[in-house]
Amino acid sequence: MTTWSIRELPVPTSLDSPGAWLLHGMVDAQNEAIREAWGSDDFATTARRALSQLEHQVDTRRVRLVAVDEATDGADPGRVLGFARLDLPLADNTHTGWLDLGVRPGHRGRGIGDALHTAACDAARAEGRTRLMTETEQAVEPPPGPQTLAAPTGEGLVSGTDVPVRFALARGWTLEQVARHSRLTLPLDLADLEEHRARAAAAAGPDYRPVTWVDATPEHWAEQMALLHVSMSTDEPSGALDVEQEVWDAARVLRDDAQTLSRDEHLLTTAVEHVSSGRLVAYSQLMIPPHTDEFVWQEDTLVAREHRGHRLGMLVKAVQLQRLVDERPSVRRISTWNAEENRWMLAINIALGFRPAGGSGVWQRSL
């Protein structure tokens, strides 16, 4: 007999309100799944982030479904057995959605994941979506062999025996791409880092100038950062994923920054200005989470197409790492993800000391 139900998570008025136990339970379940997959809490999320995402839905509608144990009652976060997080873009790509789904390790094999998957697909259809994307994580990329699946891009493998992969295949998902997780261990050799920066600066010459800011984007750069975000949405390798150009403006950049800062996360952004035009033509961003002072997320890095070939990718990342050492000397680990076919960015990361540390399969499903 089924002793659990699927509920849509209501938006609590605060993290301390009586109904917030469902949100806390979802976050606990997410972090259990993360810990099992990666063996650490580096990628853990927070209740404040989860609430912020539900409170701010101008650019993305967010549906949160939870499987709740009905054998007991009471406001116990432990009653949340699994979750489905559905993000539905509103400004662009309105035919798509991104799904993140998981079940606490001790409650798998009871049909909870299947029920959450069905409910999430139904919710996406009800919103008029025709495509969903998701990811499966792997702490180690498997070696070639008969039980692996290769991405259609020709780069990267996932293990066909992994439970999340089998789950996706059984429900009609298609592997479209493999992303590499790379990790940089600090402290860095500062002399080596300065050599990378100096060589890149010499190649760039006086036409380019790095600029760095902490947290919110300065208003005078917001419109140009919006243009770079638009380019990022189309220039980043995406295989056969059915995605379109994103819509960004200065208001969205500033709104996105404000939401990040409101949940105690911090940003470190380095950009490159083309001196003669006054335009930003490259950028790289780090996100510092609140739950640890030893780990940082490497987020987007982009060089505008017309300015490639001047080693701006290396310049922006080397300058950023130097600033990070000054701003956050306690950081010991940085993680980044890149499409396996993105050899240009992977080569920069490797030169800086990033090493492969697993990755993810990127999947697509028609509704």
Which residues have C-beta within 8 Å of that of residue 77, sequence separation ≥ 6? Answer: 21, 22, 24, 25, 28
What is the helix (H) or strand (E) element at residue 25, kind and residue range? helix 21-38
List the structure tokens of 187. Answer: 């402290």
Q: Which residues of the chain have pLDDT under 50?
A: none
Cβ atoms within 10 Å of 121's Cβ, excluding its own? 20
Spatial separation of the C-alpha atoms in residues 47 and 23, rounded to whole Å: 7
Angle at 31 between CA 259 and CA 107, to 5 degrees: 135
**Max CA-CA distance within the chain?**
71
Which residues have C-beta within 8 Å of that of residue 342, sequence separation ≥ 6? Answer: 236, 237
pTM given for the model: 0.95
DSSP structure class, residue 20: G
Spatial separation of the C-alpha atoms in residues 49 and 258, rounded to whole Å: 12
Q: What is the pLDDT of residue 2?
A: 80
DSSP structure class, residue 205: G
Q: What is the pLDDT of residue 353?
A: 98
DSSP structure class, residue 50: H
How do residues 58-78 score in pLDDT, each as one tens digit?
Answer: 999 999 999 999 999 999 999
Q: How far is CA 289 from CA 13, 39, 60, 254, 265, in A?
A: 23, 18, 21, 19, 5
Q: What is the pLDDT of residue 278?
A: 96
List the structure tokens of 325. Answer: 């050492």
How do residues 262-292 score in pLDDT, each as one tens digit?
Answer: 999 999 999 999 999 999 999 999 999 999 9
C-alpha Rg value of the chain to the nearest Å: 21
Spatial separation of the C-alpha atoms in residues 264 and 330, rounded to whole Å: 17
Q: Where are the alpha helices (DSSP H) in 328-367?
A: 343-352
